[in-house]
Structure 1
Amino acid sequence: MTTAGGSMAPLAIGSCLRRGWRAFGQAPLRFMGFTLLGGVLNLIGQLAQNRGSDGLQQGGPAGYLFLALAGLAAGGASNIWLNVGLLRGNRIALAAGQPSFAELARWEGAAVLRLLGMAVLMLLVNALVLITCGLVAGVLSLLTPVLGMLALVLGGAALLILNASQVFQLPLLVVEGLGPVRAFQRGWSRKTRRWAPLYLLTLALHGLQVVMVLLVPTPFAALAVLLAVGLLIGWPVMIGTLMAGYSDLFGQGFVQGGITRTLSER
């Protein structure tokens, strides 16, 4: 969206949230059921990874290494599958359609590979920023500790801006079919300050997911159940909000020729 003067207008987060909620309302039980399935698979993978890691730390057999790696792979794959499915379903729902469970659950191999490539790219870029920041802070701290601390603060701000610029990487990779490098460039080309609310929303929901997993084996497991119930609604609405914001920023429609386009038609 642009203003009359040609500058970029702030993203209407309230409007995006309302449209995301309306999209969820097109098929709430299917969205919640699919999110529950994906969440359970993700939780099983993370618990298996934790069990394998604990076994290795206690000097257990090499089989624990396989369990940890298998849990890591299962957790990552189920998370990607869940997000791609919710993205597909919300794209249909935002066009006033009703996605079927089969459409939500369909496996998109090419999209998964692009998302894995993006994860590797972001890991490398974040590591580069962290290493550079650490080296600069180390050198400046030789002059004065204040300068070293300032370098760390600036590095943290750079990481926040970097990751905020990539909040739309999911639709860029899945809907537009861009490669990881091109999607990164496309995201960075926009004014990241306008994306902060969506980035914070995404971060908050991921934080709830992490807290839920941590609480499962503790006496506070009941709180984990409450968080899980909230995520069954919050996660699909967040993806719908993301798709609505993506449509506003990048001008990608959801209906062509009066017929809702699905991701498989690309």
Structure 2
Amino acid sequence: MNMLTGNSASRVHPTLKKLPKVVVAHATFQNAIAGSPSESSLAYPIQAYLGVNGWAISTEQDHPNLNVGEKLGRPSQIDFIGKRKDRQEKWSLALETKIYSRTKEDRLIRDVIKLLLLDDVDRCLLVVFPISPKEGISIENGEAKFSNGWKSFNLFDRFLPWNVDGPKKLFLGDDSLKGIRNHINAALTAFGKERVRGEFNVELCAKNWSDDFVCCLWRFLWAGKRIYSPNETNK
């Protein structure tokens, strides 16, 4: 049974907009007490905050549209799925989370592709950026800055924009995404998808930061029915 179906709201729920603030506070506290947080440690603040604000949350649920156990070693899963407790509805939220590392951008892009392969739900990606010389990340006016000669043009200026005046329309075959096209195609190949719906809107819903971390929440909505294929010319 596909639990991840339902009608996505046109606007992100107000509770979700506050999620980056909660995650930054927890990560900053944990960093001061016990050291750098892990991705698994983000589960507690996310579940606790959403749980007391009217959401029923489940973790590590198998992706309903993928069966990739043979290629990736185990079935692909969604980090968090949720629904509003006060409504008689199916699961309507899918949330992937990542602690950013510039050496593992392929994992971040794969999570976005995983979200795009879901049915009609609110697809959200929450990313925590450690502010550290090691990662070459600093914070300036609420925007993460990448140093050490590293350019993030395709990933964050185009694919996951820092500042968006409303949703930004993208297509997986856009020339502007050439810099990360190999990661996009590798994800689709791993998921066994040769042709996919590739036209969508990406929206930066909320962000928050401390002296130690930046946290951003993006949402992905369908924008059209154009098909993208790594093996075809996409016009």
TM superposition score normalised by structure 2: 0.31
Please state which structure has a larger fraction of its residues in strand.
Answer: 2
Greater relative contact order (Cα < 8 A, sep 6+): 1
Please state which structure has a larger fraction of its residues in helix.
Answer: 1
